[in-house]
Structure 1
């Protein structure tokens, strides 16, 4: 039985209709696709202008004659009761409701109409199918968080069983736990791994120390999908070597949809099936492909809740060879909110600091993982998990790199900790500013 499809239909998500709709969208020829997107943009805009009081209030007194003049919706705008943001024909009882992780600093509750949510799953299933994964039959090794209260824990385990997956709890990833993970891979015929980048990378480092390749231990493995956190090229190479299967990079947002997914050719294809994605400057004007800017996303099918020109909080670049039907994400640079403000007035993405430090720290195999906190404009703390303290020589190398790539006279502290704090969902925030 197709248990995954069944559980969605049981909750009254029209998955069959959504799959049919997605098939029709994907059959639209390239030369007609730009016009199709324009029509869908105007349709969803007209719907919310007519049926959503929250969006009507947002547009009040604004003279809008073209798409780029529409206000950019931020997460802060959405931090008000959900009931006030729903369209008139929807209520709490007839929509899908969830909440964001809060990793951007602005968590909120959101809603999707049931067809829109079914379409989200249709897209995800379609993309995973590129790599021979069937949600109804392929067995997933799931590296995600899990509720720690008894009711929440067993509820999640039941959902995992129905969805043909086994969840590896990732809140404590010491060697004893990772050895337990390895034992399960010896016993179970997993088809693929899916989960947070940092957790799967940590498991791969454990395999590296043991000089093991997971595919040799679990020959049924086909592919590894990582999501939610940055995947650096060096980490990808580590995963490919010690997991022993192709590594696919996924990028999404729970309130929207799957945003980008790496295809078999290695391209990070954006989802223009159900979303319209723009890269804009500080004034909200669309930038040419190849230029870095803010990612602004419109959900083309969600009638319950408006996500029109919604700022996801990330910075990215579209590839110059992108088309309306096949836009390609050239690079995802990081969150607009995760920036480091330096004493000179320089503002840099926080991941720049993380990346510079990472290149030095990870030459030393004793370090399993680390995060960086900015405590003041000139002060940073590196929290790391390792078998032993970093040497003074390694510390000097970090200081030198920081001076070279950022600026001199910054204060850097090191603190070795037994475990790094993750979000309730299990994500690891690699850079965080406290100023």
Structure 2
């Protein structure tokens, strides 16, 4: 029985209609697809100019024949009551409503019309199908957060049951919790793992310490899909070694859609069927393929709420081999608010600090997890969980390496904790700038 599809239909999301529409889009040849993108961009702008007072007030000087006249939307534009942003004919009673995670520091409530949300699931099902994973049949081992209040907890458990998945909480990453998790894998025919990168990496490290390859005790396992947090090459190698299956990188945003998904060739293929992705410079100019800039996205189907040239807050690069039908995300560096400004004025992606430190701090297996915070332009705190406190020698090596790669005069503070603070959803933010610097 197709419980997943049935649950979507019972909640008013026309999944079959969406799947048929997606098939029609994908059948277009390259030339027809370019025309399709041009048409859908103009159509969604025209729709919201006519039916959405909120968008009309934001976009007063648009020429539908000139895409560059379409203004950039930011999360700050959307931080007002949802009812004031909905299009005519839509209310909180006939749309899908959710809230962003707030990982960018600007959380807000958003809406999608029900066909648009069904398309989101059609895309997700299609991409998972690249690896022979079926939402209606494949069993998922889910590494996500879970509400701790009774109502929220049981609501998620019911959703998990309908979606053929079992959830492992990411709030307890102890060896004792992983021992219980391992027992569940040995007794359950899981087809794939899905969830937050940092938690799944910790599970892989546990398996490495135990000298266990997961698919030897769970032979049904086919793949691991990681999402929501940065995936480093060495972590991917570790997971593939310890799980014995391919690790697939997913990039999405709840308010939009699945943005990019690693295809079987290893390319991070962008969802061009329902989204239009651009890379812009700081002056809102479109950058050539291969150049790094702000990721700006247009949702081509959401008629309940405009997401048009929406600055998602990430920095990335499109491959030079990208086409209209098959754009490929070459790099995703992180959030714009994850950029560190050094005393000299030099800018560095915050994950640079994390990456430099990671190569040193985890060498001996003592440190289980760590995050980095910027407290002043010259002051960074490394918060870590470990079996033993870092030696003064290791602290000095880390401090010297950070200065060598970045600049002299940085102050590095080390703080050992029993466990790291995760967001309510269970995500772990590897780097955070706590200073207010305008980029």
TM class, shorter-chain normalised? Answer: over 0.9
Q: CA deviation at 1:69?
A: 2.1
Residue by residue over 1:271-304, the C-alpha shift from the partner in whole angstroms, topping out at 9 and shown as x without a partner, is 0000000011111111111100111000000000
Q: CA deviation at 1:238?
A: 0.3
Q: Is this contact kept in 1: 2:297–2:307, CA < 8 A?
A: yes
Residue 357 (str. 1) matches residue 357 (str. 2): yes
Question: Residue in 1 aligned with 2:66?
Answer: 66
Q: 1:208-223 to 2 correspondence within 5 Å? A: 208-223=208-223
Question: Residue in 1 aligned with 2:129?
Answer: 129
- TM-score w.r.t. length of structure 1: 0.99
Residue 295 (str. 1) matches residue 295 (str. 2): yes
Question: Residue in 1 aligned with 2:387?
Answer: 387
Q: 1:307-386 to 2 correspondence within 5 Å? A: 307-386=307-386
* SS at structure 2 position matched to 1:138: coil
Q: 1:264 to 1:61 in 2, by over 3 A?
A: closer
RMSD, aligned CA: 1.0
Question: Residue in 1 aligned with 2:49?
Answer: 49
Point out 4+ residue stretches in structure 1 off by more than 3 angstroms.
61-65
Question: Residue in 2 aligned with 1:279?
Answer: 279
Residue by residue over 1:375-397, the C-alpha shift from the partner in whole angstroms, topping out at 9 and shown as x without a partner, is 11111110111111112221111
Residue by residue over 1:201-254, the C-alpha shift from the partner in whole angstroms, topping out at 9 and shown as x without a partner, is 000001111111111111110000000000000000000000110000000000
Q: CA deviation at 1:62?
A: 6.4
Unaligned runs of 5+ in 2: none
Unaligned runs of 5+ in 1: none
| Deviates most, 121-130 or 390-399 | 390-399
Question: Residue in 1 aligned with 2:107?
Answer: 107
In 1, distance between residues paired with 2:145 and 2:128?
A: 21
Q: CA deviation at 1:60?
A: 2.6
Question: Residue in 1 aligned with 2:429?
Answer: 429
Q: CA deviation at 1:352?
A: 1.0
In 1, distance between residues paired with 2:65 and 2:14?
A: 36
Q: Is this contact kept in 1: 2:145–2:424, CA < 8 A?
A: yes
| Deviates most, 56-65 or 399-408 | 56-65
Q: 1:328 to 1:68 in 2, by over 3 A?
A: same
* SS at structure 1 position matched to 2:93: helix
Question: Residue in 1 aligned with 2:21?
Answer: 21
| Deviates most, 89-98 or 359-368 | 359-368
- TM-score w.r.t. length of structure 2: 0.98
Q: CA deviation at 1:61?
A: 5.4
Q: CA deviation at 1:364?
A: 2.2
